[in-house]
């Protein structure tokens, strides 16, 4: 039975929510494998909008098992608040429908506070984080001082763990001029929340192995995008986890041989939230129009997204790094009405034409896009559900993108509604 890994092929915000929801209806298990509640997916089902940050998209569909893997950093308070919020929308989340890896690291108040203090200290050189403690939590995980979900079941050992956690954090806080943390108060807050959180704890790797062996379809739901990957993205303006497809195995405990089909969600133009290089950004009327038509505001933060033309260099790089088998092209309808479209086919850097985004921070800021001009279309593509309903110029645009990135379109989205999707190849049937 094929499994599917869904990732973003740009800087996130590619419209994964709708595609993941479409696929989750066909899956038995939906797994989050990296990131935290800095991610945001918007689902529109039967006219009702659900905004999820930490919960897998499968929670809104009856009969699906949702899993938060060990690669995710979990803010216990944010998780429980999100469960209560969607419960208010009529979605019941229970330990029978949601399992959280017992070895998942926890995001604590100290992580959020450190995140904010660092960004303040950096001033104009800030990274542009969401301020939710994601980075500091991953640092503690790698530094082997994290408090994990399973630790809440062993309160006798919390004192020693908190002691060594605060040796690190209080030293940093002193340097940043932030008040020291009271270890006893931190411990009490964890003990207070433990009874509500521990019923969801599970040995996730074993549960997924059983599902795999039992022939159940598993959907791996990535957050952010490849160009925000801690190793392969526009460093240091990246997230703190690996967002590439290979992370699905590490972050869930189900080996890479079970990955199956990798679907890269790709917006028909390019957007980015926060700081960092953006070669095709349009800080002009074009960018404003794309942002307005595409309603480009972050699901989690509400921050306006920077907008620009499609960057085939970047997406081609993401396709190769992540082993993407096919893309789901989203928001094509936003381009309706443009007389002319631009696609970046290469970069110009220090007098040379290059076909990749270089690794250095300075070089990434210096590259200039080499554009290919393409005719736009006046007709509407919104709501199209077959190729026959698309204008000839729109089809030409799609085919040229496929050529430039070296990857075929498996799905095409023409509006936020899940039914407005042209299926070329079912990832679960691949």
Which residues have a catalytic role annotated?
13, 41
Q: What is the 3-state secondary structure (H, E, C) of the chain?
A: CCCEEEEECCCCCCCHHHHHHHHHCCCCEEEECCECCCCCEEEEECCEEEEECCCCHHHHCCCCEEEECCCECECHHHHHHHHHHHHCCCCCCCCCCEEEECCCEECCHHHHHHHHHHHHHHHHHCCCCCCCCHHHHHHHHHCCCCCEHHHHHCHHHHHHHHHHHHHHHHHHHHHHCCCCCCHHHHHHHHHHHHHHHHHHEECHHHHHHHHHHCCCCEEEECCCCHHHCCCCCCCCCCCCCCCCCCHHHHCCCCCHHHCCEEEEEEECCEEECCCCCCCCECCCHHHHHHHHHCCCECCCCCCECEEECEEHHHHHHHHHHHCCCEEEEECHHHHCCCCEEEEEEEEEECCEEECCCCCCHHHHHHCEEEEEEEECCCCCCCCCCCHHHCCHHHHHHHHHHHHHHCCEEEEEECCCCCCCEEECCCHHHC
- Contact (CB, 8 A) for 69 and 221: no
């Amino acid at each position: 039975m094929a499994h599917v890994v869904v990732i973003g092929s740009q800087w996130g915000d590619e419209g994964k929510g709708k595609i993941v929801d479409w696929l989750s209806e066909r899956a038995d298990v939906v797994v989050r494998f990296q990131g935290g509640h800095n991610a945001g997916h918007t689902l529109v089902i039967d006219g009702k909008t659900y905004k999820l940050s930490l919960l897998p998209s499968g929670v809104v569909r009856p009969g699906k098992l949702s899993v938060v893997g060990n690669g995710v950093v979990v803010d216990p308070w944010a998780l429980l608040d999100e469960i209560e919020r969607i419960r208010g929308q009529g979605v019941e989340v229970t330990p029978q429908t949601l399992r959280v890896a017992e070895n998942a690291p926890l995001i604590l108040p100290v992580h959020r506070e450190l995140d904010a203090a660092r960004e303040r200290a950096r001033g104009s050189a800030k990274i542009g984080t969401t301020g939710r403690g994601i980075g500091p939590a991953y640092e503690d995980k790698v530094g082997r001082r994290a408090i994990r979900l399973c630790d809440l079941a062993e309160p006798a050992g919390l004192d020693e763990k908190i002691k060594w956690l605060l040796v690190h954090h209080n030293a940093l806080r002193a340097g940043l001029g932030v008040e020291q943390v009271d270890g006893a108060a931190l411990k009490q807050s964890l003990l207070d929340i433990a009874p509500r959180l521990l019923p969801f704890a599970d040995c996730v790797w074993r549960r997924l192995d059983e599902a795999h062996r039992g022939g159940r379809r598993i959907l791996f739901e990535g957050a952010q995008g490849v160009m925000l990957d801690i190793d392969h993205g526009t460093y240091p303006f990246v997230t703190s986890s690996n967002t590439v497809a290979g992370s699905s195995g590490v972050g869930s405990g189900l080996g890479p041989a079970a990955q199956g089909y990798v679907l890269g969600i790709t917006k028909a133009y390019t957007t980015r939230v926060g700081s960092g290089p953006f070669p095709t950004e349009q800080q002009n009327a074009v960018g404003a129009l794309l942002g307005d038509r595409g309603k480009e505001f972050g699901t989690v933060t509400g921050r306006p997204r920077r907008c620009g033309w499609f960057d085939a260099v970047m997406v081609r790089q993401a396709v190769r790094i992540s082993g993407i088998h096919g893309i789901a092209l989203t928001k094509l309808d936003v381009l309706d009405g443009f007389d002319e479209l631009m696609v970046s086919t290469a970069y110009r850097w220090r007098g040379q034409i290059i076909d990749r985004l270089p690794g250095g921070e300075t070089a990434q800021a210096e590259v200039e896009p080499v554009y290919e001009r393409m005719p736009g279309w006046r007709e509407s593509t919104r709501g199209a559900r077959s190729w026959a309903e698309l204008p000839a110029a729109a089809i030409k645009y799609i085919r040229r993108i496929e050529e430039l990135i070296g990857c075929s379109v498996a799905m095409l989205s023409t509006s936020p509604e899940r039914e407005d999707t042209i299926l070329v190849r079912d990832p679960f049937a691949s």
